[in-house]
Amino acid sequence: MLDRRFSIAPMLDWTDRFCRYFLRQISKRALLYTEMVTTSALLYGDQARLLKFDPMEHPVALQIGGSDPVQLSRAARLGQQWGYDEINLNLGCPSERVQSGRFGACLMSEPDLVADCIKAMVDSVTIPVTVKQRIGIDHLDSYQLLRDFVGRLSLAGSRTFIVHARKAWLQGLSPKENREIPPLSYATVYRLKRDFPELEIIINGGITSIEACEEHLALVDGVMIGREAYHNPWLLAQVDARLFGEETPVPTRDQVIAQLLPFVELELAAGVPLNRITRHILGLFHGQPGARAWRRYLSNHSYKSDADSDVIVKALRLVML
């Protein structure tokens, strides 16, 4: 059983395996999600590049985008074969590119199709198949429609619903605007939990502190945080103790870097450019003295063709001065 009290949202171009490995050094208990991967990319692309991850990342979930039940079942099987702990179906992304591929938030207008997709995936794997969705789209935003949608998918076999507490406008707003302009309605997600006490309901959207997580956890089963955790990753340092009751000492920031360096060395030896890793650690000293020097040094030196782990060590020395 996965403990989903706290998770990091799937974020395109951000939550790649380098980001996830780094975040795992700060929290051992947070559930991590991959970037969304489309079924066509998984089935016909470079599977090793898309699915490779380090065992230390566990627990880690694979998010898939698609709308064809057969392809989704095959993709789900691949995810299980590669060792992921959960398969998540993206029903929340509102971008036009995603809509053109007929997946993401636009599928909330097709509950029967989505139910077929969920059933096909559930029948193909033994790990959980979960959903990440909005509270509504466009003018399809009544609570009755939301409740019927969740009920339909639960009958198809999904028991966990990660609900972004905003509706999405599929036309007229960019993905960024869809994360900010539609008003948050946490009460709607709380109501879902009351109406479906047997389901696992995870709340997402606009949550930026551990205190807020604790408040939400009194009313729902879990909390998912996205961009705040990316820009201010030290937020995760409080997660294991305050949300999971762990008594393990929290590492310091320099200890996190010390734990990261052997991984960096291995990836550099495999031909990975340093800046593919360091771009994810820029926020480690967010709000701390020396944060600007840390970011500047990494940004100015990591892109060089001969950049190695010593760049990170030197940046850390600047912060420690």
- Judging by beta carbons within 10 Å of its beta carbon (0-12, 13-18, 19+), is residue 269 exposed, middle or buried? exposed
Please report, for residues 145, 168, 205, 280, the alpha-carbon distance to residue 216 in angstroms, rounded to integers and kept in the order given.
Answer: 23, 22, 11, 27
Tokens 């103790």 belong to 241
**d(C-alpha 1, C-alpha 23), whole Å:** 21
For residue 65, give the nearest of 79, 46, 54 by alpha carbon. Answer: 79
Phi, psi angles (nearest 5°) of residue 148: -65, -40
Which residue of the set 93, 106, 117, 213 is catalytic?
Answer: 93
Residue 55, preceding peptide bond in cis (omega within 30° of 0): no
Question: Within 10 Å of residue 142's Cβ, how many Cβ atoms?
Answer: 10
- Judging by beta carbons within 10 Å of its beta carbon (0-12, 13-18, 19+), is residue 229 exposed, middle or buried? buried
Tokens of residue 146, six digits: 């939301």
**d(C-alpha 90, C-alpha 134), whole Å:** 10
Q: Provide the angle, in degrees to the nearest 10, between the axes of the packed helices 111-124 and 143-156.
A: 30
Tokens of residue 104, six digits: 């993401």
Tokens of residue 194, six digits: 């009351």
Q: Indicate if 93 belongs to the active site.
A: yes
Residues marked active site are found at 93
